Structures are given as C-alpha cells and as structure tokens.
C-alpha cells in the first residue's frame, strides 16, 4: 500500500491524497459505506459503484460468527465471495466483543476477550492473534489492529489500562504475518483524556505502521468532545500516512474532521437513518438530519427531499411521494432514502477533495454548512485560525 499526500490546505490542514491498494486507488478524503454482513444493507453493489464509493468496510465479528471467515476464505476471500472488486477495510471485531462486556456477556483478560455470541450462544475467544487470523482469512486490504475499547464513561484508570493493553496488543498484531496485499492500521485510544490520547498515539506511532486510526470517538461523547479530540490529535498523526477517523459520519462531522486533517471515514448512519425515514439536508444554517414525515412534505409535488441535490432519488421523486412511501412502509423507500444519504456523504468528501486541490477549501466549507448560522464559536475558530 502506498499513500501520497497531494495537497494540504495551508489555512486548515485539510488534506487530499491518494491511497494505492492492490484492489484500486482511493482518492482521499474518502467516505466508506459499511457492509456489515458483507453487503451494504439494502443497497445492491452496482448502486454502491454508481454512487462512486471507492472502498467499503466489512465487520470482522459478524462475518466470523456467520458464515465464518474460513468459509469466506474457501470462496477466495471477501472480494471474490461478494464480487466487490474494490478495496475492503475490515474492523478488528474489538468494538463488538467489547460491547458484549458492557452487557455483562464477556470476560476481558490481558490476552483477549471471552464472549458468548448472540446468534448461536456459543463461547468464543478473541485476542490480537485471533483477530488477525480472521482478517487474514477474509483477505481485506486494510486490516485494523485489535484494540481495547473502553466505554465513554470509563474512569481515568480504566482508560489508562486500555491504552496500555492496546499498545501491547497492537505489537502482537504487527508481528502477525498477514497476506502480502494487506496493511495493518493501529487504533489510537485514550478516551476523553488528552494526555492519555497523546501517550497512546506516541507509543503506536513508534511502531511505524502504514496508516493510523483514531478510535473510541463515537461511543457516547458530546459533539464538542469529539471535535476537541479530533482537532488536537489529527495533526500529531504522521503526515505521510493515511488518517482514519472511525465511526464518524454526518455531513457536519465530515466537514469538521476533514478540516482538522483526517482522511478516511466510515459510518452506518446513511442506511440506518433511512429505516427511520431520516435524511441529511443542507439548510442555510448548516447540515441537519430531518424526517421525511414533516408536514410540509405532504403536498409538495415539485421539490425533492433536498433541493439542488443531484442524487438518483432527488432527481426522480417528490417529497410528497417519498413521504407517502415511508408512511405506508413500502420497502423501496428505505433504498431511496439511503441512496440520498450515501450520495450526500460520498459526494461531500469528493467535493472537499476537489476544493483542497484547487486551493479554495476555506471558501468551500464557508458555503457548505459548518459556518452557517448555527455554527459554534469553536467551529469559527477552527476555520479562522
Ligand atoms: Zn438527494
């Protein structure tokens, strides 16, 4: 894997780059749709391609439990099994197995986590070696290191323990021999404690991995806390390597995080929101998440759910029609809304990239929402310093 930094916005630190993998070149900043069980929920692969997705994320835990990573290996790996020929990133499985611990269904040890899966009720063990073995079988292009994920409200001692264990586990992951096309990204932990974040980052950067991720930033912290963590940590990550912010993905959060110098993003929101009738919409005062059931949509036959959106849904259907489909639980509507949401995030990152390359990034974000009427003081400061 090779990363080339093409341009950095001198005012904000926003970056445009190229990430070359064996399954394709990824232009950054990039939004990665989530294919939890090997498919982006409810969206055919041909649509994912048409929307311009360059890389997708698959979940190690889910695929390990069913159909099993060994079966996927037999099929020739994730790419052949799913027929998605572009790059795949797999998470480490850590996030899911630690969520079992939060529900009292797992035992955490210094060597890994023992847990009972919620599908078949079988006992499993996952540690750094097991996570690497599963991801090797899956054959993804970017492999995430197995990290210790503390809950957002963990004590300082708890988070310090998690930072130390994450470093130890990452070293074991780095020693594991993956397939030749696979690259390992460590995950910086440290919760809301700045000094622990710095400690985690410093220890992991020493390992000289091909890319780095910020983890544990969307597990219940406030929007301000997430902004603060991303702002302070992003530019301490090596500038010549891709920087991945895990689990973050509203238009507003992407604008803020690219502004802070992050390159890669994933989030389940575009498809999850669609099942609740929610969609991303740009307003004069910034980006919002709104409902298709709003009163004004009932008889609006002339406008799409978001004016001026070029997505396949907004190019074809009125607000009144989409609202009706949702109210009647007609299953095509979940697809239509998800297409709008995915298009929004994929296109927003593409447009940010273009603006960075053309030296007009600050103008772009000023006209794209984070500097709208409801901007916080912090948002202004970030762009104006
Ligand atoms: Zn649209």
Render pLDDT for 14-42 as a digit per residue (tens, 0 to 9). Answer: 999 999 999 999 999 999 999 999 999 99
Q: Give the pairing type, strands 88-90 and 123-126.
A: unpaired
* 306 CA distance to ligand 1 middle (Å): 6
According to DSSP, the residues that pair with 18 across neighbouring strands are 4, 27
Residue 373 has pLDDT above 60, yes or no: no
Q: Are residues 258 and 317 in the same domain?
A: no
User: What is the CA(340)–ligand 1 centre distance, in A?
Assistant: 4
Q: Which residues are catalytic?
A: 91, 266
Identify whether residues 236 and 377 lie together within a single domain. Answer: no
Ligand 1 midpoint to CA 84 (Å): 24
Q: Is the peptide bond before 67 cis (omega within 30 degrees of 0)?
A: yes
| pLDDT for residue 141 is more than 50 | yes
> What is the chain's alpha carbon radius of gyration, rounded to the nearest angstrom?
21
Determine the distance separating the centroid of ligand 1 and the alpha carbon of 289, expressed in angstroms.
13
Residue 298 CA, ligand 1 centroid: distance in Å = 18
Quote the mean pLDDT of the chain: 93
Q: Are 181 and 307 in a shared domain?
A: no
> pLDDT for 177-206, tens place per residue?
999 999 999 999 998 899 999 999 999 999
Residues 141 and 199 reside in one and the same domain: yes
> Which residue range forms the structural domain that includes residue 250?
2-268
- Region 135-146: mean pLDDT is 98
Closest CA to 261 of 231, 216, 281, 289: 231
Please determine, for residue 385, whether its predicted confidence score (pLDDT) is greater than 50.
no
For residues 106 and 9, membership in a common domain is answered with yes
H/E segment holding residue 362: helix 361-366
Domain boundary pick from 268, 291, 313 = 268
Cα–Cα distance for residue pair 1/22, rounded to 1 Å: 7
**What is the tens place of the pLDDT at every residue in 272-305?**
999 999 999 998 778 889 999 999 999 999 999 9
36 closest CA partner among 90, 84, 85, 77: 90
**Any idea what the CATH number is for the domain that residue 236 is in?**
3.20.20.105
Q: How far is the CA of 342 from the centre of ligand 1 (A)?
A: 9
Whole-angstrom distance, CA of residue 382 vs CA of residue 142 = 30
339 and 222 in one domain?
A: no
Q: What is the pLDDT of residue 381?
A: 55
Determine the Cα–Cα distance for residues 165 and 170; give it in Å rounded to an integer: 8
- Claim to verify: residue 255 and residue 374 sit in the same structural domain: no
Q: Say if residue 167 is in the same domain as residue 251.
A: yes
Rounded to whole angstroms, the Cα distance separating 60 from 149 reads: 15
Centroid of chain to Cα 310: 23
Q: Are residues 244 and 182 in the same domain?
A: yes
Ligand 1 centroid distance, CA of 14 (Å): 26
Res. 221 pLDDT band, cuts 50 70 90: confident
Give pLDDT tens digits for 305-361: 999 999 999 999 999 999 999 999 999 999 999 999 999 999 999 999 999 999 999
pLDDT at 379: 55
> Could you give the number of structural domains in the chain?
2
Please tell me the distance from the alpha carbon of residue 263 to that of residue 27, in angstroms, as a whole number: 9
Q: If you average pLDDT over residues 151-174, what whole number do you get?
A: 94
User: Same domain, yes or no, for 134 and 247?
Assistant: yes
Task: Please report the pLDDT score of residue 228 as a whole number.
Answer: 86
**Cα distance between residue 344 and residue 65, in whole Å:** 32
Euclidean distance between CA atoms 158 and 163, whole angstroms: 9
First to last CA, the chain: 34
pLDDT at 173: 98
Q: What is the pTM of this model?
A: 0.95
Instruction: Judge whether 113 and 97 are in contact, CB under 8 Å.
Output: yes
Angstrom distance (rounded) from CA 337 to CA 321: 12
- Do 283 and 264 share a structural domain? no
Alpha helix (H) ranges present in 188-318?
194-205, 223-234, 251-260, 269-275, 312-316
Q: What is the reported pLDDT for 217?
A: 82
Q: How far apart are CA 163 and CA 166, in angstroms?
A: 5
């Amino acid at each position: 894997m090779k990363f080339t930094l093409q341009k950095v916005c001198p005012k904000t630190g926003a970056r445009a780059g190229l990430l070359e993998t064996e399954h394709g070149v990824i232009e950054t900043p990039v939004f990665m749709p989530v294919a939890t069980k090997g498919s982006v929920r409810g969206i055919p692969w041909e649509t994912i391609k048409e929307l311009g997705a360059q890389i997708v994320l698959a979940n190690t835990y889910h695929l390990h439990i069913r159909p099993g990573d060994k079966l996927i290996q037999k099929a020739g790996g994730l790419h052949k099994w799913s027929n998605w020929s572009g790059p795949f990133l797999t998470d480490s499985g850590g996030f899911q197995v630690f969520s079992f611990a939060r529900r009292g269904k797992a035992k955490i040890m210094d060597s890994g986590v023992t847990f009972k899966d919620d599908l078949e009720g079988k006992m499993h063990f996952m540690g750094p070696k097991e996570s690497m073995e599963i991801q090797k079988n899956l054959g993804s292009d970017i492999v995430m290191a197995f990290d210790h994920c503390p809950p957002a409200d963990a004590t300082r001692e708890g988070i310090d323990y998690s930072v130390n264990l994450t470093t130890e586990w990452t070293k074991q992951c780095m020693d594991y021999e993956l397939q030749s096309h696979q690259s390992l990204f460590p995950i910086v932990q440290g919760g809301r404690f700045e000094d622990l974040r710095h400690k985690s980052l410093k220890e992991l950067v020493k390992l000289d991995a091909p890319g780095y991720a910020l983890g544990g930033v969307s597990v219940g912290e406030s929007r301000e806390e997430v902004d603060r963590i991303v702002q302070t940590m992003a530019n301490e990550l090596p500038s010549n390597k891709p920087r991945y912010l895990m689990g973050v993905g509203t238009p507003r959060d992407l604008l803020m995080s690219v502004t802070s110098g992050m390159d890669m993003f994933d989030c389940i929101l575009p498809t999850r929101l669609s099942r609740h009738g929610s969609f991303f919409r740009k307003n004069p005062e910034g980006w919002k998440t709104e409902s298709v059931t709003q009163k004004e949509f009932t008889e609006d036959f002339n406008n799409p759910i978001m004016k001026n959106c070029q997505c396949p849904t907004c190019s074809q259907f009125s607000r009144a029609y989409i609202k009706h489909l949702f109210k009647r639980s007609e299953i095509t509507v979940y697809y239509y809304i998800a297409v709008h949401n995915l298009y929004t995030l994929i296109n927003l990152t593409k447009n940010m990239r273009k603006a960075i390359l053309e030296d007009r990034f600050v103008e772009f974000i000023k006209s794209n929402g984070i500097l709208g009427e409801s901007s916080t003081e912090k948002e202004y400061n970030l762009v104006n310093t």
